[in-house]
Amino acid sequence: MATIALLGHPTWALMPKKGATPVLLLHGGMSSSASLLHSVGPRLKRHFNIGAFDRRGHGRTADSDAPFSYEAMAEEVVAFIELLGRPCHLVGHSDGANAALLAALARPDLVTRLVLIGANYHVEGLMPMPHLDEGSLGYQAWVAHYASISPDGSSRAHLVFRKTMEMQATGPTLTNEDLRRVTVPTLVMAGDDDVATLAHTASLYESIPGAQLCIVPGTSHSLLKERPKECARTIRRFLTQDLPVQTRMPLRRALDS
């Protein structure tokens, strides 16, 4: 583990070892790298060179006064890969997947393969969700966990929460035309009861040329924790398989070729 300067901000990071292409795990909102490192991480690290970092205002990285945005998160991803000095596979969950998608659009030269888990490319693709009130027990439990690892303690928890809610209420705002510009081999994964509608997830898959799709049955937005073995196996297969994929009866892929 290390503290690195990422865009001038002290950032907690797990630096991948030199050698094989790194697999960079990108965590969700109001979370930390631990969510992936403790779920699919143990199985993936048996086969891959794993790296991760806690984004600004998340986990073991302090917050700043700047607002949150998916674009700024993507800039952090790009800066981390540039610091490593070699392209990476990106495995992102939730907000981490949205940031990974934007990073792959901005700098496809830095991304070798892309796994988007529980992603939404447009804010209107989300299911209606219950509001998390700042006085609720759920919010208080999140603050306690946040304070237990953040360098800021609990002092900025309410600001992080509000910045997250504002970002998620206004973005991302990509279009299907934007998605057609993705040139990185992509796997779209989601639970069958995830935060994005199934129609939105399907349109994400169908809009990215040559993409693959995995809907994990009997899971929610927490699919990596609910089915860690199955999810890790799917991710591993995608990251190691020969591409482009060959099937016996290509239909969508026949149109892409």
| Domain edges within the chain | 2-256
Assigned fold of 2-256: Rossmann fold (3.40.50)
Q: Residue type for 50, please?
A: I
* DSSP structure class, residue 196: B
Amino acid 166: pLDDT: 96
Instruction: Please provide residue 230's backbone torsions phi and psi, each rounded to the nearest 5 degrees.
Output: -65, -45
**Length of the chain measured in residues:** 257
- Dihedral sign for Cα atoms in the order 130, 156, 41, 7: positive
What is the Cα–Cα distance from 28 to 139, expressed in whole angstroms? 16
Compute mean pLDDT per 10 residues along the chain, 257 residues long, and list them. 94 94 98 98 97 98 98 98 97 98 98 98 95 90 97 96 96 98 98 98 97 98 98 98 94 78
Residues 114, 243: Cα–Cα separation, whole Å: 13
What is the three-state SS of 18-51?
A: CCCCEEEEECCCCCCCHHHHCCCHHHHCCCCEEE
Residue 19: predicted pLDDT: 87
Question: In angstroms, rounded to a whole number, what is the distance separating the alpha carbons of residues 214 and 234?
Answer: 8
Task: Compute CA 190 distance to the chain's CA centroid, rounded to the nearest angstrom.
Answer: 12
Per-residue pLDDT, 257? 63
pTM of the model: 0.97
Residue-level pLDDT at 150: 98
Q: Is the peptide bond before 244 cis (omega within 30 degrees of 0)?
A: yes
Element (H, E) at 224: helix 223-226
Q: Mind listing the pLDDT tens digit for each residue in 189-240?
A: 999 999 999 999 999 999 999 999 999 999 999 999 999 999 999 999 999 9
Q: How far apart are CA 166 and CA 16, in angstroms?
A: 32
